[in-house]
Amino acid sequence: MASKFEMKSLGDLKYFLVIEVAKSKHGIFLSQRKYILDLLAETRMLDCKPIDTPSEQNHKLGLYPDQVPTNKERYQRLVGKLIYLSHTSPDIAYVVSVVSQFMHSPSEDHMGVAMLILRYLKVTLGNGLMFCKYGLTDVEGNIDVDWASSVNDRRSTSGYFTFVGGNLVTWRSKKQKMVSRSSVEAEYRGMAQGVWELLWLRRLLRDLGFGPQKLMDLYCDNIVAIAIAYNHVQHYRTKHVEVDRHFVTEKLDAEIISFPFIFIRVSTGRCSYESCVYYGLSQLA
């Protein structure tokens, strides 16, 4: 770029859009420690009691007629900052996506969950993303689904993480667009979303000259959904996910992806929901 534009070097990048960048012989580390401290100070939570998980297990949020409203502007400002913070904190991705669904009509219950996230962030101040050079370009992902998790419309939530060369690069937690009649159906829709993300990464890496050299693994903890993916016989029970089924099967036949089974206890995707149960997180440490 220096041959095309007038430029000067200012040294290694250290701070960019409130993201702290630390470079070492081990790799590059991204964090938002100062951003978290400023947020805790702004919300008067610097002296709060820390907790080990970003929300309570099995606590389902919803909209109820008797809910007590809270300050809408304050809630929207707080959740907006948490959304930006999740750029370097994938462990809060799921619960942040949940509280962001109630921006139009927040209640004291919703605000309470947002405050729990702040108490969790006090514990994880030094956490962030580490990018190491392992000399690999393998692409893999991990998907999981929280079936019928929305108490108001019973739509499921999909979550995925993707890795390139052993480094976490993308993640997402999003409510599905339609109601699934079974956990297998919800899982299969989540598998299709995960495949789309892996294909996008594959195209991007090839454009950069670093295409993956082997099959891309998409780990899944639902053995029935995996069996459907590998079964070429159309079944009447899978007609409602026919488009996703043919899409996934096509990529399997082309030997672009594979679906290894992974036991739920060590499933990375499980971190994106079910309140990030502390036991599950400790198994990944």
Whether residue 119 sits in one domain with residue 86: yes
Helix (H) or strand (E) holding 205: helix 183-207
Strand partners, 139: 164
Whether residue 27 sits in one domain with residue 90: yes
Whether residue 231 sits in one domain with residue 198: yes
Best mean pLDDT range from 41-45, 154-158, 220-224: 41-45
pLDDT number for residue 3:
80
Whether 129 is covered by a domain: the verdict is no
Whether 1 is covered by a domain: the verdict is no
Where among 98, 123, 148 does a domain terminate?
123
Whether 11 is covered by a domain: the verdict is no
> Which tens digit of pLDDT belongs to each residue from 235-278?
555 555 666 766 777 777 787 888 887 765 444 444 444 443 33
Whether 9 is covered by a domain: the verdict is no
Whether 4 is covered by a domain: the verdict is no
> Which tens digit of pLDDT belongs to each residue from 204-247?
988 888 877 788 999 988 888 888 788 766 655 555 566 676 67
Whether residue 143 sits in one domain with residue 268: yes
Whether 51 is covered by a domain: the verdict is yes
Whether residue 102 sits in one domain with residue 198: no
Whether residue 203 sits in one domain with residue 97: no
Residue of higher predicted confidence among 53 and 243: 53
How far is Cα 284 from Cα 252, in angstroms, rounded to an integer? 28
Whether residue 115 sits in one domain with residue 91: yes
Whether 173 is covered by a domain: the verdict is yes
For the chain, the domain total comes to 2
> Which tens digit of pLDDT belongs to each residue from 175-193?
888 888 888 888 888 888 9
CB 82 within 8 A of CB 99: yes
pLDDT number for residue 210:
81
C-alpha dihedral (272, 184, 239, 260), degrees to nearest 10: 80
pLDDT number for residue 146:
84
Q: What is the pTM of this model?
A: 0.79
How far is Cα 55 from Cα 274, in angstroms, rounded to an integer? 9
The CATH number assigned to the domain holding 204 equals 3.30.420.10
Where among 123, 153, 185 does a domain terminate?
123
Average predicted confidence (pLDDT) for the chain: 83
Where among 123, 145, 173 does a domain terminate?
123
Whether residue 113 sits in one domain with residue 154: no
Whether residue 151 sits in one domain with residue 97: no
Residue of higher predicted confidence among 135 and 31: 31
Whether residue 271 sits in one domain with residue 187: yes
> Which tens digit of pLDDT belongs to each residue from 8-17?
888 888 999 9
> Which tens digit of pLDDT belongs to each residue from 102-127?
999 999 999 999 999 999 999 999 89
When pLDDT is cut at 50, 70 and 90, the band that residue 4 belongs to is: confident
Whether residue 253 sits in one domain with residue 147: yes
pLDDT number for residue 243:
66
Whether residue 186 sits in one domain with residue 52: no
Whether 5 is covered by a domain: the verdict is no
pLDDT number for residue 234:
60
CA distances from 14 to 124, 129, 167 (A): 20, 14, 20
pLDDT number for residue 163:
92
Domain hosting residue 73, numbered range: 16-123
pLDDT number for residue 200:
92
